[in-house]
């Protein structure tokens, strides 16, 4: 057959396009992906032909020969139709050919040929010209296909080498963002042109790319260039003097945890007293001792968890490989907090604060095994509540590698709105608080001598010392003013000293800096451009002036005001109308620049335009809810409702937030929203109100709320079904058959909703109903068979049983029957290969065995259960097994052996989807294993901040915490707390219908309270009653303990 003219052109660089017969065929024209991939595969092959089996192996590797051949014929048919030529794809003699009868040119072939010739000749101009003819990477719509990888690598390597030889550094950075040599060339060019901001911007692009793709930091040569372009304008490059006592105390705090564990160091003092400088000195000394350091700065109007996201980005420099080796669940959480942590598996369910705590704890270990770490937070008084809470939980959690959380904050915020997490951390026994006061006169003199631009004369130093009154910041500002002003007069105030920095700035520059001062604490170049409305060149001039005058300093690749006092000096003299206008302008410009909802709302409110702030407050609230930052969400929505009390979305969001927090105001909030919205929305809200009442252990009120309610949405019907099922299962409504029917309805609705948390709740409801009918063992066997070969489903289903099996253990069935059932379940699981069921059965047997007094046998079961759970990644089950091992150690009188198990169990419980069924138990065991009464009371307080809301507790499992909490409070002398928990115990027995053995446990708690109240006879009676109850339900070790207590 005679060849037709060369009129077929195939382009695969930057796009996929075929030009033939004066028409173009693009990716959008193909009916199937495999059809155009078939053409591309053949176009890359030598001679544009491959064996049929080669094509099938590349495009359909998962199919057999017959099915693969059928798919090949179908793809070839689609290709012929799309290209309009019957012989575009030819299948014959076991081969597949592309346009065998026509002359075809392929852009990849042309580029490779020309690139190799240009590189061989070595002419820079030719290399640049050939590189310019490559519009992009190979087949960008098929980046992961295996057959594209080698030609893609070849094209990329040739393109980058052409750009390098041609000196096109900017395009090279676009193509290869981690090319340090190209970045250095661009930085040198910018520095030589006096455009250091451009050099900083190139450095930041490189830094981020290296973090994201390599998990590495720029090398020494690149860092040296960065240092060159930021010399003299970086944040604090001063010699440190004084504070030796405080430094010794900080060193002792570090030394106290070198063997493992957590601690906090809180550094507080007024503005200008030297908190940041002190922290940097502590960090410098810690690094000299081998500690790894991560430093972040909090900002006003920041998004929830923003400082943690910054910390994660810094931790990535320890290597992408180390980061990728973290558990998938950890990487999924970290990717929610920082885009640089992506790609990562999707997060299963909603993000929770406990998941953030656990993920950050694991990430902090990235520097290396048993690596001591300091996490520094500057301006901690500006922290969002979510981050402050996570930091407190890190400290309170104890255990693990050495970790010091160092927080610096202004003392005056103690009287206003310091985040709750910092307040709680300050109360912790592991925390040391340092109050920084004025420096001594000789220390101020030494500071001035070392750090003044020009060393003042002795009499001038003496005058500075007298005027500064121990303030390091004021002393240095006075020294600068004296040496740079050309006069012998000292400013009388800090503001006057700062103002002298601004004297040489023109009005336009001052105005622009004031705009920045009103808007942000810290900003990048893009934000400066957006806020000022300046062009790039004018913005560079502005930033240069600010850096030269010491108003701004460089912090990484961002700009910060040298001190909060500098920022305040720029803004405090503004007239009211000018301040309002600046805030409004900032809000508008931040909207255009894509700023955060929190910051935009902040500026509209400061600009006294609450109507404009409302939609941004709603957006900020929703975002905070999405990441589980409920305290921050509540602050946003309550600010919204101050402006619009009847705002429908606001009322509904407030109810949801209070519900998530376990706040007693949640039912009333749902009721308020229902009245405001009216029907049909009110029907859904009433159903959710009822579920909130049930979760607050008030089933009777929940049932009254549901009277006449007929929800229509899936969410509303699910809330109703869960409420009625649980109420029926505990005997407050209808009967056990109704409980089972409503539980099945809830499960169907939860699956329809697709929410993993809802599915877990529904599974729990089914288990509770089965227990109410005496059918739980049979249901567990049914689950074992139904989830065979489905490990993820098995984990979720058996996790849903953790709570209800406690009812079976503590008086639902005799221990010997439970042990026999667990043996049978384990044998059946082994026979059919159901790993999760086997691990579950071993742990269940261990729980029954420990209650029966068989400590050695229980420990073996728990150890094997933990091993099996760990092998299949069932972290909730593993946490429960480790908890069992800890309880064995406590029964043996070795609480110190229990603590490592409890620390690991707590970390896993935080990560799991069923923490609300395990956290109470773990903290209860921690309290039981406390070293003394004071330690027990401390752990109770810690648990009160760690377990909040229905997402973190459940009515049944709560008893495992409130009984030990009652005892610990009584032993620790906090009788008010003890009586409050005793009331909770009585209510749990009444409302939740707990099994009999828990009645005995509550009697033991009453014995401790009456003993603390000074009523030994009553205490004696309670302990004996408890002992009798434990004996009745075959818990001999607990009975022996209570008999001994009766004689106390």
pLDDT digits (tens, 9 = 90+) for 937-987: 989 998 998 888 777 888 788 999 999 999 999 999 999 999 999 999 998
- Confirm whether 903 is domain-assigned: no
- Cα–Cα distance between 862 and 884 in angstroms, integer? 6
What pLDDT score does 159 carry?
A: 93
- Cα–Cα distance between 605 and 349 in angstroms, integer? 34
Same domain flag for 25 and 168: yes
- Cα–Cα distance between 677 and 149 in angstroms, integer? 57
What pLDDT score does 1043 carry?
A: 94
List, as one string, the DSSP characters of 362-393: HHTTTT-TT--EEEEEETGGG--HHHHHHHHH
Same domain flag for 23 and 133: yes
Of the residues 355, 371, 387, the one at which a domain ends: 371
Same domain flag for 357 and 458: no
Same domain flag for 219 and 137: no
pTM of model > 0.75: yes
Same domain flag for 351 and 478: no
- Confirm whether 880 is domain-assigned: no
- Confirm whether 605 is domain-assigned: no
Same domain flag for 202 and 123: no
User: Which letter, b or e, does each residue of 650-682 get, where b requires 16 or more Cβ atoms within 10 Å of its Cβ?
Assistant: bbbbbbbbbbbbbbeebbebbbbbbebbeeebb
Of the residues 516, 549, 575, the one at which a domain ends: 575
The tens digit of pLDDT for each residue in 199-254 reads 888 888 888 788 777 777 888 898 888 888 877 666 555 667 788 888 888 888 88
Domain assignment of residue 325, given as a range: 303-371
Of the residues 575, 591, 614, the one at which a domain ends: 575
- Count up the domains in the chain and report the number: 4
- Cα–Cα distance between 944 and 888 in angstroms, integer? 25
The domain that holds 464 is classified in CATH as 1.10.10
- Cα–Cα distance between 996 and 1030 in angstroms, integer? 9
Same domain flag for 72 and 168: yes
Tokens 């490059």 identify what position? 237
**Nearest of 602, 578, 606 to residue 590 by alpha carbon:** 602
What pLDDT score does 6 carry?
A: 54
- Confirm whether 410 is domain-assigned: no
Same domain flag for 66 and 166: yes
Q: What is the CB neighbour count within 10 angstroms for residue 456?
A: 19
- Confirm whether 62 is domain-assigned: yes
Same domain flag for 49 and 194: no
- Confirm whether 975 is domain-assigned: no
Q: What are the phi and psi torsion angles at 253 (to 5°)? A: -65, -40
Report in angstroms the alpha-carbon separations of 982 from 16, 88, 927, 969. 72, 83, 16, 10
- Cα–Cα distance between 357 and 669 in angstroms, integer? 29
- Cα–Cα distance between 18 and 25 in angstroms, integer? 5
Kind of pairing, strands 522-523 and 403-410? unpaired
Sheet containing 89-92: give its strands across: 49-51, 95-98, 89-92
- Confirm whether 237 is domain-assigned: no
What pLDDT score does 954 carry?
A: 82
The answer to whether the CB of 913 falls within 8 A of the CB of 760 is: yes
**Nearest of 166, 164, 170 to residue 202 by alpha carbon:** 170
The domain that holds 41 is classified in CATH as 1.10.10.10
Same domain flag for 205 and 164: no
Strand partners, 404: 263, 374
- Confirm whether 488 is domain-assigned: yes
Same domain flag for 11 and 138: yes
- Profile the chain (1048 residues) by mean pLDDT over runs of 10 residues: 62 92 86 90 92 91 87 92 90 92 91 93 92 90 86 92 92 90 92 83 83 79 85 63 85 86 87 85 87 86 87 80 85 90 84 90 76 88 88 81 88 60 76 87 80 72 78 76 62 66 72 78 74 79 77 75 75 82 86 86 91 95 92 93 94 93 90 94 94 86 92 92 85 82 87 78 76 69 63 62 74 83 87 85 92 95 93 89 95 93 91 85 94 90 86 85 96 95 89 81 95 93 94 93 90
Tokens matching residue 7 = 């009129």
What pLDDT score does 793 carry?
A: 54
Same domain flag for 2 and 150: yes
What pLDDT score does 619 carry?
A: 95
């Amino acid at each position: 057959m005679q060849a037709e003219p060369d009129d077929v052109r195939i382009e695969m660089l930057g796009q996929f396009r075929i030009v033939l017969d004066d028409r173009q065929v693009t990716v959008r024209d193909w009916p199937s992906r495999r059809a155009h991939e078939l053409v591309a595969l053949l176009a890359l092959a030598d001679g544009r032909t491959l064996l049929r089996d080669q094509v099938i192996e590349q495009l359909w590797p998962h199919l057999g020969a017959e099915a693969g051949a059928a798919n090949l014929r179908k793809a070839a048919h689609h290709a012929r139709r799309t290209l309009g030529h019957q012989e575009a794809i030819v299948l014959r003699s076991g081969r597949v050919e592309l346009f065998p009868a026509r002359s075809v040119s392929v852009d990849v072939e042309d580029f490779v040929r020309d690139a190799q010739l240009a590189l061989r000749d070595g002419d820079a101009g030719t290399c640049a010209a050939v590189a310019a003819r490559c519009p992009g990477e190979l087949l960008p719509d098929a980046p992961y296909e295996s057959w594209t990888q080698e030609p893609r690598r070849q094209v990329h390597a040739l393109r980058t080498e052409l750009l390098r030889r041609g000196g096109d550094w900017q395009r090279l950075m676009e193509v290869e963002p981690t090319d340090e040599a190209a970045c250095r060339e661009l930085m040198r060019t910018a520095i030589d042109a006096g455009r250091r901001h451009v050099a900083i911007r190139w450095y930041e692009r490189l830094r981020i790319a290296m973090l994201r793709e390599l998990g590495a930091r720029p090398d020494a040569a690149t860092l040296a260039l960065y240092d060159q372009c930021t010399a003299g304008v970086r944040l604090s490059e001063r010699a440190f003097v004084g504070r030796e006592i405080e430094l010794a105390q900080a060193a002792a705090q570090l030394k106290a945890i070198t063997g493992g564990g957590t601690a906090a160091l809180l550094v507080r003092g007024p503005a200008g007293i030297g908190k940041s400088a002190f922290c940097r000195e502590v960090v410098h000394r810690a690094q000299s001792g081998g500690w790894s350091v991560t430093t972040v700065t909090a900002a006003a109007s920041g998004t929830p968890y923003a400082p943690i996201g910054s910390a994660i980005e810094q931790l990535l420099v320890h290597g992408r490989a180390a980061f990728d080796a973290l558990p998938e669940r950890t990487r999924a959480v970290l990717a929610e907090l920082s885009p640089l942590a992506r790609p990562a598996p999707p997060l299963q369910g909603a993000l929770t604060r406990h998941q953030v705590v656990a993920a950050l704890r694991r990430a902090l270990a990235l520097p290396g095994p048993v690596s001591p770490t300091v996490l520094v937070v500057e301006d901690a008084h500006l922290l969002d509540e979510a981050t402050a809470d996570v930091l407190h939980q890190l400290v309170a959690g104890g255990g693990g590698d050495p970790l010091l959380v160092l927080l610096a904050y202004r003392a005056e915020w103690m009287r206003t709105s310091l985040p709750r997490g910092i307040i709680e951390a300050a109360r912790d026994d592991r925390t040391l608080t340092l109050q920084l006061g004025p420096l001594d006169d000789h220390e101020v003199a030494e500071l001035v001598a070392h750090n003044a631009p020009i060393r003042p004369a002795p009499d001038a130093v003496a005058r500075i010392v007298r005027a500064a009154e121990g303030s390091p910041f004021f002393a240095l500002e006075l020294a600068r003013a004296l040496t740079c002003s050309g006069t012998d007069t000292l400013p009388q105030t800090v503001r006057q000293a700062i103002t002298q920095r601004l004297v040489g700035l023109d009005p336009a520059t001052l105005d622009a800096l004031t705009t920045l001062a009103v808007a942000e604490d810290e900003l990048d170049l893009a934000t400066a451009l957006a806020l000022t409305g300046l062009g790039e060149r004018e913005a560079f001039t502005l930033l240069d002036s600010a850096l030269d005058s010491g108003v701004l300093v460089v912090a990484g690749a961002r700009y910060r005001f040298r001190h909060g006092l500098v920022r305040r000096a720029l803004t405090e003299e503004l007239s009211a109308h000018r301040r309002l206008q600046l805030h409004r302008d900032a809000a508008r410009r931040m909207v255009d620049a894509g700023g955060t909802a929190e910051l935009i709302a902040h500026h509209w409110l400061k600009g006294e335009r609450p109507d404009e702030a409302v939609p941004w407050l709603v957006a900020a609230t929703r975002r905070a809810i999405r990441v589980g930052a409920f305290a921050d969400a509540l602050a946003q929505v309550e600010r919204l409702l101050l402006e619009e009390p009847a705002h429908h979305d606001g009322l509904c969001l407030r109810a949801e937030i209070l519900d998530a927090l376990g706040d007693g105001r949640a039912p009333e909030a749902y009721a308020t929203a229902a009245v405001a919205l009216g029907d049909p929305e009110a029907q859904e809200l009433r159903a959710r109100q009822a579920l909130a009442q049930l979760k607050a252990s008030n089933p009777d009120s929940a049932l009254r709320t549901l009277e006449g309610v007929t929800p229509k949405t899936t969410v509303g019907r699910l809330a109703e079904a869960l409420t009625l099922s649980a109420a029926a299962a505990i005997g407050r409504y209808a009967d056990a058959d109704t409980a089972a029917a409503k539980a099945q309805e809830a499960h169907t609705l939860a699956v329809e909703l697709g929410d993993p948390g809802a599915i877990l709740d529904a599974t729990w409801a089914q288990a509770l109903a089965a227990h109410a009918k005496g059918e739980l063992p049979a249901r567990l066997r049914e689950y074992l068979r139904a989830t065979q070969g489905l490990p993820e489903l098995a984990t979720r289903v058996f996790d849903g049983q953790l709570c209800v099996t406690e009812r079976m253990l503590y008086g639902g069935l005799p221990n010997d029957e439970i042990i026999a059932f667990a043996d049978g379940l384990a044998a059946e699981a082994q026979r059919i290969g159901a790993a999760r069921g086997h691990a579950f059965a071993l742990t269940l047997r261990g729980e029954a065995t420990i209650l029966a007094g068989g400590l050695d046998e229980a420990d073996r079961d728990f150890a094997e259960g933990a091993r099996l759970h760990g092998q299949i990644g069932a972290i909730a089950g593993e946490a429960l097994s480790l908890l069992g091992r800890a309880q064995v150690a406590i029964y043996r009188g070795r609480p110190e052996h229990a603590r490592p198990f409890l620390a690991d169990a707590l970390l896993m419980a935080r990560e799991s989807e069923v923490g609300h069924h395990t956290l109470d138990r773990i903290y209860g065991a921690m309290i039981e294993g406390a070293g003394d009464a004071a330690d027990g009371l401390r752990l109770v307080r810690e648990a009160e901040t760690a377990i909040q809301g229905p997402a973190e507790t459940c009515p049944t499992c709560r008893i495992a915490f409130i009984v030990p909490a009652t005892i610990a409070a009584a032993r620790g002398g906090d009788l008010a707390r003890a009586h409050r928990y005793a009331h909770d115990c009585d209510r749990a027995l009444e409302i939740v219908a707990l099994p009999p053995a828990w009645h005995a446990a509550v009697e033991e708690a009453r014995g401790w309270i009456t003993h603390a109240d000074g009523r030994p006879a009553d205490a004696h009676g309670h302990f004996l009653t408890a002992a009798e109850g434990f004996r009745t339900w075959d818990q001999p070790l607990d009975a022996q303990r209570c008999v001994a207590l009766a004689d106390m």
